[in-house]
């Protein structure tokens, strides 16, 4: 036995009717036999909308992928899904005013399922088209990079060739310098040996000069000492001579009878 809810209770569970643009012109009758007409209108409308969606799918896929707005298409699909669910809720509410409630609800569910299936197919197509668009974009970017790489290949080859030639030239110059250094090695060794000998001779002459200088300094000191000794001896002799002369004068002055002494003593 099917229990029919009271119309007031059913009306309380029904959400408010939203405002949609381009809504099909039909009215859902709340009770009586006219409710069947509303359900039949929904059933007649759904295949038409599905046919329109299927007819528009090839045209959309034929358009250039770059011109499609996938975000707008997904939003439109979401709005259509919300509108389908709302109409199902309205039809289900009207079914409770009919005698064959279960059959009416099953018909409404079938219509909802068909519309949601169409929307799901459309959603999958949009996702696949978006993935294909992204893959095409990646392919174009890779092709551009490849074309740029191939276009710059001659320049890179010329730069690499120039770099190799410059490197080889530097290597040859280094080899020439190494060979020159090896060829000059005996002369450098002879020059080093001559320099060492010259330095050794210079050191020997420096030592000899230092020794001569020290000997001359010692000789000068000895000469100075000898001169000083000679001067002192001369002074002593001069002093002794003066003392003898003074003594001789005193003797001459002190005694007239004394005979002169020719030598002073």
The answer to whether the beta carbons of residues 85 and 112 sit under 8 Å apart is yes
pLDDT of 129 > 70? The answer is yes
For a pLDDT cut of 90, what percent of the chain falls above it? Answer: 34
Instruction: State residue 53's pLDDT score.
Output: 47
pLDDT of 26 > 90? The answer is no
Instruction: State residue 57's pLDDT score.
Output: 45
In which band, very low, low, confident or very high, does the pLDDT at 128 lie, cut at 50, 70 and 90?
very high
Instruction: State residue 15's pLDDT score.
Output: 37
**What is the mean pLDDT of the segment spanning 217-224?**
89
**What is the mean pLDDT of the segment spanning 182-196?**
87
In which band, very low, low, confident or very high, does the pLDDT at 166 lie, cut at 50, 70 and 90?
very high
pLDDT of 77 > 90? The answer is yes
> In Å, how far from its chain's centre is CA 212?
74
Domain ranges of the chain: 7-151, 196-252
Q: State how far the Cα of 44 lies from the Cα of 12, in Å rounded to an integer.
A: 28
Mean pLDDT of the chain: 76
Q: State how far the Cα of 22 lies from the Cα of 52, in Å rounded to an integer.
A: 14
Look at phi and psi of residue 105 and say left if phi exceeds 0, alpha if psi is from -120 to 50, else beta.
alpha
Instruction: State residue 189's pLDDT score.
Output: 87
**What is the mean pLDDT of the segment spanning 54-65?**
43
Lowest mean pLDDT among 8-17, 61-70, 256-265: 8-17
Question: Greater confidence, 36 or 169?
Answer: 169
Q: State how far the Cα of 261 lies from the Cα of 252, in Å rounded to an integer.
A: 9
pLDDT of 110 > 50? The answer is yes
**What is the mean pLDDT of the segment spanning 244-251?**
85
């Amino acid at each position: 036995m099917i229990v029919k809810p009271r119309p007031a209770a059913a009306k309380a569970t029904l959400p408010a009717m939203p405002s949609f643009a381009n809504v099909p012109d039909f009215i859902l009758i709340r009770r009586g036999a006219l409710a069947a007409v509303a359900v039949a209108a929904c059933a007649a409308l759904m295949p038409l909308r599905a046919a329109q969606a299927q007819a528009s799918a090839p045209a959309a896929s034929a358009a250039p992928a770059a011109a499609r707005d996938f975000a707008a298409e997904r939003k439109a699909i979401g709005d259509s899904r919300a509108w389908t669910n709302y109409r199902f809720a309205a039809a289900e509410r009207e079914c409770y005013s009919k005698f064959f409630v279960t059959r009416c609800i099953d018909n409404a569910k079938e219509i909802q399922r068909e519309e949601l299936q169409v929307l799901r197919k459309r959603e999958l197509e949009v996702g696949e088209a978006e993935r294909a668009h992204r893959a095409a974009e990646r392919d174009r970017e890779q092709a551009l990079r490849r074309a740029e790489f191939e276009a710059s290949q001659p320049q890179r080859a010329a730069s690499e060739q120039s770099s190799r030639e410059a490197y080889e030239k530097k290597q040859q110059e280094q080899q020439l310098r190494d060979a020159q250094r090896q060829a000059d090695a005996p002369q450098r060794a002879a020059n080093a040996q001559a320099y060492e000998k010259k330095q050794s001779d210079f050191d020997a002459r420096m030592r000899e000069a230092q020794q001569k200088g020290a000997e001359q300094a010692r000789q000068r000191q000895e000469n100075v000492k000898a001169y000083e000794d000679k001067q002192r001896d001369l002074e002593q002799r001069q002093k002794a001579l003066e003392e003898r002369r003074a003594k001789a004068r005193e003797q001459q002055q002190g005694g007239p009878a004394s005979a002169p002494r020719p030598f002073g003593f």
